[in-house]
Amino acid sequence: MSALSLAHEPVTGIRHGKLGMWIFLASEVMFFSGFFTAFIILRNANLSVFAHGATELNWPLAALNTVNLIVSSLTMAMSILSLENGDKGKFQLYLGITFLCACGFLVIKYIEYTTKFSHGIYPGTSSFFGLYFTMTGFHAIHVIGGMIPIGWMLAKSFTKRGYADTGRVEILGLYWHFVDLVWIFLFPVLYLIF
């Protein structure tokens, strides 16, 4: 039985997880496409409401978060590179920075949300804020979803056995860059242009 050679190299030469992640990301693009389409249609129908809504948002905080995510993207890419070079210390350092950036992102998001609530602004305030909370909320869920495996890999790398699955870190990297990518669009669309 064990002599069977059914399990062979991936036909496409791309690891299952990576291929699966790309398909998942394609799916994610469609998910956010739904939100962006709704945003475009409702914005065109209610220009003044959306313009007014955007002025209520705190764009400097969002800009800070943009920088936050760009830095985390860089460190994520560097951490993969370090792991491929076998540099465990640098891997931990870069992945650690990525994790911290993600935490920082969530803290800033928390400040933004609570400020809105204290001003009496909720998702039900208008269709603009309905979309704002939905889109940034789902983005934040994606950030949390990325932090779990980042944290796990980081913790694992401090154990005796360490962590050396570069393939998995690369897959995680793809996901993390996608999260950055969504924010790259959310930032101007929600905060800047109207």
Partner 1 sequence: MEAAVLTHEHGHAVAHAADHTHEHHEPSFIRKYLFSTDHKTIAKQFLTTSMFFLLVGGAFALFIRWQLAYPGEPIPIIGSWLPDSLVSNGAIQPGFYTQLVTMHATVMIFFVIIPMATGAFANFCIPLMIGTDDMAMPIVNMMSFWLVPVAGLTIMAGFFVEGGTAAAGWTNYPPLSASGMGHTLWVIGVFLVGFSSILGGMNYVTTVLNKRAKGMRMFDMPMTVWALFITAILQTLGTPVLAADAVLLFVDQVFHAGIFIPENLLTPNGGLFPNGANVGTGGGGQPVLWQHLFWFYSHPAVYIMILPIMGVVSDVLATFARKPIYGYKAMVFAIMAIAFLGFVVWGHHMFLSGMSPLLGTTFMLSTIVIAVPSSIKIFNWLGTIWRGDIHFTTPNLNALGFISTFVCGGLSGVFMAIGPIDVYIHDTYFIVAHIHYVLFGGALFGIFAGIYYWFPKMFGKMYNESMGKFHFVTTFITFNLCFFPMHMIGVGGHMRRIHDPYVYEFLKPFQPINQFITIFAILLGFAQLILIFNLIWSVKFGRPAPRNPWRANTLEWAAPAHPGHGNFDRDITVYRGPYEFASPESKRDYLPQWIRPAHVEQETVAKH
Partner 2 sequence: MAAGHSAGEMQKAYIKIFSALMVFTLLTIVAAKFVHFPESWGSLSTVLHVTIGLLIAVAKAWMVVYVFMHIKFDNPYIRVFIYVPLFLFAVLVFALTVLGGPTL
- Interface ranges with partner 1 (CB under 8 A): 1, 4-8, 10-12, 14, 16-17, 19-20, 23-24, 26-28, 30-35, 37-38, 41-42, 45-46, 49-50, 52-53, 122-131, 133-134, 138
> Residues for the chain: how many in total?
194
In the complex, what is the shortest distance from the CB of residue 166 to partner 1, in angstroms, rounded to a whole number? 19
Query: Is the CB of residue 171 less than 8 Å from the CB of residue 17?
Result: yes
Q: Residue 120 carries which side chain, given as an amino acid letter?
A: G
* Binding-site partner at residue 59 among partner 2, partner 1, none, CB < 5 to 8 Å by type: partner 2
Rounded Cα distance between 106 and 144, Å, is 8
Per CB under 8 A, does 184 bind partner 2? yes
Say which residues have a Cβ less than 8 Å from residue 96's Cβ, sequence separation at least 6: 154
* Binding-site partner at residue 77 among partner 2, partner 1, none, CB < 5 to 8 Å by type: partner 2
In the complex, what is the shortest distance from the CB of residue 158 to partner 2, in angstroms, rounded to a whole number? 23
- Of 149, 181, 152, nearest to 32 (Cα)? 181
Identify which of residues 36 and 138 has a Cβ nearer to partner 2 in the complex: 36
Backbone φ and ψ of 174, nearest 5°? -55, -45
Per CB under 8 A, does 78 bind partner 2? yes
